[in-house]
Amino acid sequence: MKSMRLIAPVLVAVCLLVVPLAWSQGNVEQQIAALSDQVVQALLKGDSSFFEKYYADDAMIIRSVGTLFTKAQDIENLKSGALKFEAYDVHEKKIHTYGDTAVATLKASAKGLSGGKPFSGDFRVSWVWVKLKGNWKLTLYQVTE
């Protein structure tokens, strides 16, 4: 009976710690899912201001041919129309969270222009988001065919 009096407060304390953590993980996944949807919309609209806000300053962007772009280069490609999307359809999206880091992987079909040349096809996309100074920033954007 005495041990029961000791166990009950411990169980309550554990629940008070674990439940908010579980809620916050779900919330992080929701935030990243929403940001992922916003990335797609920004690409379709050619909205470079979205990427100015959400790319980390040292973001690495790797397009399907393996070319590495900086934040400034990728934004300039969007502004100039060198990178333009006509369609971007997500078929599969998975999100994994690791504290202040989240990885979103997509399977998508896209069509548009890259470097003035038309492209279309199915792609695998990886986005690594990191919470920096309280804000989610896209630190890695990689596309593979």
Instruction: Supply the CATH number for residue 29's domain.
Output: 3.10.450.50
Lowest mean pLDDT among 15-19, 46-50, 64-68, 97-101: 15-19
Residue 24: predicted pLDDT: 44
Position 15 confidence tier, pLDDT thresholds 50, 70, 90: very low
The residues near 88 (Cβ < 8 Å, ≥ 6 apart) are: 40, 43, 44, 108, 109, 110, 111, 112
Predicted confidence (pLDDT) per residue in 62-111, tens digit: 988 789 999 999 999 999 999 999 999 999 999 999 999 999 999 999 99
Token match 């908010």: residue?
A: 20
- In whole angstroms, how far apart are CA 82 and each of 43, 67, 123, 136? 12, 14, 19, 27
Q: What's the domain range around 41?
A: 2-144
For residues 20 and 72, which has the higher predicted lDDT (pLDDT)? 72
Q: What is the mean pLDDT of residues 53-58?
A: 98
Structural domains of the chain, count: 1
57, 7 Cβ separation under 8 angstroms:
no
Distances (CA, A) of 71 to 3, 50, 59, 75: 59, 12, 6, 6
Residue type at 61 in one-letter notation: I
Between these two residues, 17 and 76, which has the higher pLDDT value?
76
More confident: 57 or 25 = 57
Q: What is the structure's pLDDT at 2?
A: 53
State mean pLDDT over 47-63. Answer: 97
